[in-house]
A and B are shown apart, each in its own frame.
Chain A
Amino acid sequence: MRRALALLGLSLALISARPAPAPTINDALILGDTLPARLQDFGLLVDGKTPAPGVRPYHLNTPLFSDYAEKFRFVYVPPGKAARMAGGGLIDWPVGSVLIKSFGYPADLRRPDDGIRILETRLLIHRASGWVALPYVWNPDGREAVLKRAGQRLRVSWTHLDGQTRTISYAVPNANQCKGCHVSGDQITPIGPKARNLNDGHQLQALKRAGLLQGQIRGLPALPVWNDPNSGSVAARARAYLDVNCSHCHNRKGPADTSGLWLDWDQPADANLGLYKRPTAAGRGSVGLEFAIKPGAPDQSYLLARMASLEPGIAMPELGRATVHEEGVALIRRWIADMKADAAPHP
């Protein structure tokens, strides 16, 4: 009897230790026109950071800064379909694809792999009508994530790299804010997984071997890794950082096109990159400075001051940043400081 109970206990332990059964991916839900209330219904994830079979993790050379959150990125391409290399370094993901990004924090950033709590998972779904962006927020127990189209603020604490406790009001974006960053012209588009930012010498090749990507990838440019000096010069890494963190709005077609400040990778080094560019409709965002970038003078460059600010109305990016990215600010500071004062035709 006692032995039987012990066996029962053991088998119960085994059951509870067993991972959740692999979900079945619901292609009909992905392709439909509903806004499912529960993330689980898609069957894309086992939990916030574990993909279902058929969903592939990927990483970016230079990621968007998101208040020091750890991020887990996955892509799902429906069976029998493949993405194609498109012009301009973009990847054309087929209808039925889903880009998935989970955000979470470890207790201590110095041990980023320990005990990560996932807060939210954002889906970018390619439907026949276009891309749809949906934010899901995980319950505190991490068992269920529900749709929050109006967004949510979450109080988050962690031990920072310097050993100090950080507490912020973390903002899950609402559906409009998703579009606010992901819009190009009138269409929602993916931002992160551009070919140059995926190009680490392995990822694109692996996608091709798996039959998930078609087209020429040889000779593609590669975005440097913003914090790896071996991957590029300060200037190259700074431009990569601005490309990833700013240019989804600050480009000729983006939500910040009317500012005339365009920070994408291909932007020539002229006034529209910020060199000796005066503020436009910036209000107090100019923080009393004359130029977005004054070459050689980071402390007189409002682009840098806005990155270092937490004040709404001044802080850039406007969304998704409740902390200053000190390491990113340091990189841009060095880039501006290194510029020769005659780097642009001074007007």
Chain B
Amino acid sequence: MKRHFMQAAAVTALSIASAHAATLSIAPGPDAQERLQAALIDARPGDVVALAAGRFDLTDGLSLDVSGVTVKGAGPDQTILSFAGQQAAGEGLLVTSDDVVLRDFAVEDARGDGIKSKGADRIVYRNIRVEWTGGPKESNGAYGLYPVESRDVLIDGATVKGASDAGIYVGQSRNIIVRNSTAMYNVAGIEIENSYDADVRDNLATHNTGGILIFDLPNLPQQGGHNIRVFKNRVIANDTPNFAPKGNIVASVPTGTGVMVMANRNVHVFDNEIAENGTTNVMIVAYQNSFADPHYNPVARDIVVRNNRHGRAGFAPAFPGGAELAQALGGTFPALFWDGVGGEAANVHLEDTAPAISMNLVAQGQPITAAKPAPYAAPKAPAPADLPMIVMPDAMEAAAR
């Protein structure tokens, strides 16, 4: 009975929810773990789990598996879910149901990821803060916000600090908006990985190792990332030395990288303000590591970089041989950098009025020492056509107001 109701609710999303809505109010205090987890289990579609102001000291991960539930706090500085005493689980809060809204609370010091949502379609993250309060450390959790394997993901007005991988990470998903958010003191500020159809706009990425990353990796259920727009962001002074645990792909991101595009197709970077990034402002590269996956394309291709406002860049290139290269180029490294892999066919358009360089690497996986750096030259083919704006279902936009 309940199950059938839930399935029906999932189909009609948030629209029928209000008829049944109840509010389950939870306050901090003793047994917060059990009371809050019980509410997340007992909630029915359409219900609101209302978290009072204060600090919830949690001992285990929390999870939500009921569709159509809103978890709402009193504000990201008022309602704090603290996982400093967490004894198990891979994340602070795990969401595995559809049509969930998370808003107005903070997750602090999760031992793994902050908030993960998996297979959670039409999820809204609104006005959420995730922070590791001890500053950037290798022992911090990997991701702040971590939606994965989902369709329709809206992240609006989030703040993430201290993630040892990516502050805001969207993986193996499609139809995505990340906007009006702030990522600071993470290894990667915002990362879109193995995903399709994303707008990353109006965000601030500062004091990360790398500001905004658009990546694709092999051997995963969804790969071939494409159709990504990065626009109207401020990508400023990403200068925190890389503190990612070795082995992770972001451990290879040079400190001081603004926007980095790796192994994706049809990526548009425009109307951003990109400045004070010591390695370079925009980096377009192929996947570097060796791999065994016949379905994987490691080359970044069909790329447009245009109309960005560039500030200072390349004054401290943090990759092997970078300093020497900068020296040879007159003291600083150019603001726009392409490894050259794929050549003319990669169709990489660097149209900004800022210094641009190609490493003229021929094959994926070649070391930088094989580079033959030369000023970037535009390909003959026209730039890929503009991509349409990403649109979320109305109910999601309504929930984000």
Q: Are A271 and B293 in contact (CB under 8 A)?
A: yes
Q: Are B89 and A258 in contact (CB under 8 A)?
A: no
Complex: how many Å from CA A270 to CA B295?
Answer: 14
- Given the known inter-chain contacts A152-B34, A258-B118, A322-B88, please indicate yes or no for A283 contacting B248, CB distance below 8 A: yes
Q: Are A171 and B87 in contact (CB under 8 A)?
A: yes
- Given the known inter-chain contacts A153-B60, A176-B41, A258-B221, please indicate yes or no for A278 contacting B141, CB distance below 8 A: no
Q: Is B142 in contact with chain A by the CB < 8 A criterion? A: yes
Complex: how many Å from CA A289 to CA B247?
Answer: 5
Return B71 CB to nearest CB of chain A, in Å.
Answer: 14
**Chain B residues near A177 (CB, 8 Å)?**
63
Identify which of residues 163-222 in chain A touch chain B, using a CB-to-CB cut-off of 8 Å.
Answer: 169, 171, 174-177, 179-180, 183, 186
Q: Is B125 in contact with chain A by the CB < 8 A criterion? A: no
Dominant secondary structure at the A interface: loop
Q: Are A281 and B247 in contact (CB under 8 A)?
A: no
Q: Is A324 in contact with chain B by the CB < 8 A criterion? A: no
Interface-centre pick from A174, A176, A313 (highest chain B CB count, 10 A): A313
Can you offer 18 A-B residue contacts whose CB atoms are under 8 A?
A: A33-B2, A151-B34, A171-B88, A175-B41, A258-B220, A271-B291, A283-B112, A285-B112, A286-B245, A286-B246, A287-B245, A288-B245, A290-B246, A290-B247, A313-B90, A313-B110, A318-B89, A322-B88
Q: Are B247 and A278 in contact (CB under 8 A)?
A: yes
Q: Is A149 in contact with chain B by the CB < 8 A criterion? A: yes
Q: Are B141 and A284 in contact (CB under 8 A)?
A: yes
Contact code string B344-372 (vs A, CB < 8 Å = 1, else 0): 00000000000000000000000000000
**Chain B residues near A315 (CB, 8 Å)?**
88
Q: Are A313 and B141 in contact (CB under 8 A)?
A: yes
Known: A129-B1, A129-B4. 4 other contacts (CB 8 A): A151-B37, A252-B221, A271-B219, A280-B217
**Chain A residues near B172 (CB, 8 Å)?**
258
- Given the known inter-chain contacts A129-B3, A151-B37, A176-B41, please indicate yes or no for A277 contacting B165, CB distance below 8 A: no
Q: Are A283 and B34 in contact (CB under 8 A)?
A: no
Which stretch in B143-151, B310-318, B382-390 binds the other chain?
B143-151
| Closest A-B pairs by Cβ, 4 of them | A283-B142, A347-B290, A313-B112, A286-B247
Q: Are A281 and B143 in contact (CB under 8 A)?
A: yes
| B64 in complex: contacting residue of A129, A169, A176, CB < 8 Å | A176
Q: Which residue of B lies closest to A311 (CB)?
A: B111
Q: How many residues of A contact B (CB 8 A)?
A: 55
Instruction: Report the tally of A-B residue pairs with Cβ distances under 8 A.
Output: 159
Q: Are B164 and A284 in contact (CB under 8 A)?
A: yes
**Chain B residues near A344 (CB, 8 Å)?**
292
Return A57 CB to nearest CB of chain B, in Å.
Answer: 29
**Chain B residues near A171 (CB, 8 Å)?**
60, 87-88
Q: Is A107 in contact with chain B by the CB < 8 A criterion? A: no
**Chain A residues near B42 (CB, 8 Å)?**
149
**Chain B residues near A169 (CB, 8 Å)?**
87
Q: How many residues of B contact A (CB 8 A)?
A: 61
Complex: how many Å from CA A174 to CA B41?
Answer: 9
Q: Is B169 in contact with chain A by the CB < 8 A criterion? A: yes
Complex: how many Å from CA A291 to CA B247?
Answer: 7
Complex: how many Å from CA A260 to CA B34?
Answer: 33
Q: Is B307 in contact with chain A by the CB < 8 A criterion? A: no
Q: Are B247 and A179 in contact (CB under 8 A)?
A: no
**Chain B residues near A87 (CB, 8 Å)?**
none
Return A341 CB to nearest CB of chain B, in Å.
Answer: 15
| B219 in complex: contacting residue of A255, A277, A286, A345, CB < 8 Å | A277
Q: Are B221 and A312 in contact (CB under 8 A)?
A: no
Complex: how many Å from CA A177 to CA B2?
Answer: 19
Q: Are B219 and A288 in contact (CB under 8 A)?
A: no
Complex: how many Å from CA A164 to CA B257?
Answer: 52
**Chain B residues near A283 (CB, 8 Å)?**
112-113, 141-143, 164-165, 245, 248
Complex: how many Å from CA A107 to CA B289?
Answer: 51
Residues of B within 8 A of A (CB): 1-4, 33-35, 37-38, 40-42, 59-60, 63-65, 86-90, 94, 96, 110-113, 118-119, 138-143, 146, 148-149, 164-165, 169, 171-172, 193, 217-222, 245-249, 289-293
Q: Are A312 and B289 in contact (CB under 8 A)?
A: no
Q: Are B89 and A345 in contact (CB under 8 A)?
A: no
| B248 in complex: contacting residue of A152, A282, A347, CB < 8 Å | A282
Q: Which residue of A lies closest to B89 (CB)?
A: A318
Interface-centre pick from B1, B89, B217 (highest chain A CB count, 10 A): B89
Interface-centre pick from B40, B88, B89, B218 (highest chain A CB count, 10 A): B88
Identify which of residues 246-281 in chain A touch chain B, using a CB-to-CB cut-off of 8 Å.
Answer: 252, 255, 257-258, 260, 270-272, 276-281
Interface-centre pick from B4, B63, B90, B219 (highest chain A CB count, 10 A): B90
Complex: how many Å from CA A119 to CA B249?
Answer: 43
Q: Are B38 and A278 in contact (CB under 8 A)?
A: no
**Chain B residues near A287 (CB, 8 Å)?**
245, 247
Complex: how many Å from CA A281 to CA B171?
Answer: 9
Complex: how many Å from CA A183 to CA B96?
Answer: 11
Contact code string A309-347 (vs B, CB < 8 Å = 1, else 0): 001110100110110000000000000000000001111
**Chain A residues near B165 (CB, 8 Å)?**
281, 283
**Chain A residues near B149 (CB, 8 Å)?**
257-258
Q: Which residue of A lies closest to B110 (CB)?
A: A313
Q: Is A21 in contact with chain B by the CB < 8 A criterion? A: no
Q: Is A93 in contact with chain B by the CB < 8 A criterion? A: no
| A312 in complex: contacting residue of B3, B4, B63, B86, CB < 8 Å | B86
Q: Which residue of B lies closest to A177 (CB)?
A: B63
**Chain B residues near A285 (CB, 8 Å)?**
112, 142, 245
Complex: how many Å from CA A174 to CA B239?
Answer: 42
Q: Which residue of B lies closest to A272 (CB)?
A: B219
Complex: how many Å from CA A183 to CA B97?
Answer: 13
Q: Is A302 in contact with chain B by the CB < 8 A criterion? A: yes
Q: Are A281 and B142 in contact (CB under 8 A)?
A: yes
Q: Are A149 and B148 in contact (CB under 8 A)?
A: no
Return A261 CB to nearest CB of chain B, in Å.
Answer: 9
Q: Are A284 and B245 in contact (CB under 8 A)?
A: yes
Q: Which residue of A lies closest to B113 (CB)?
A: A283
Q: Are A288 and B246 in contact (CB under 8 A)?
A: yes
**Chain B residues near A161 (CB, 8 Å)?**
none
Q: Are B142 and A347 in contact (CB under 8 A)?
A: no
Return A169 CB to nearest CB of chain B, in Å.
Answer: 6
Q: Are A284 and B221 in contact (CB under 8 A)?
A: no
| B89 in complex: contacting residue of A129, A290, A312, CB < 8 Å | A312
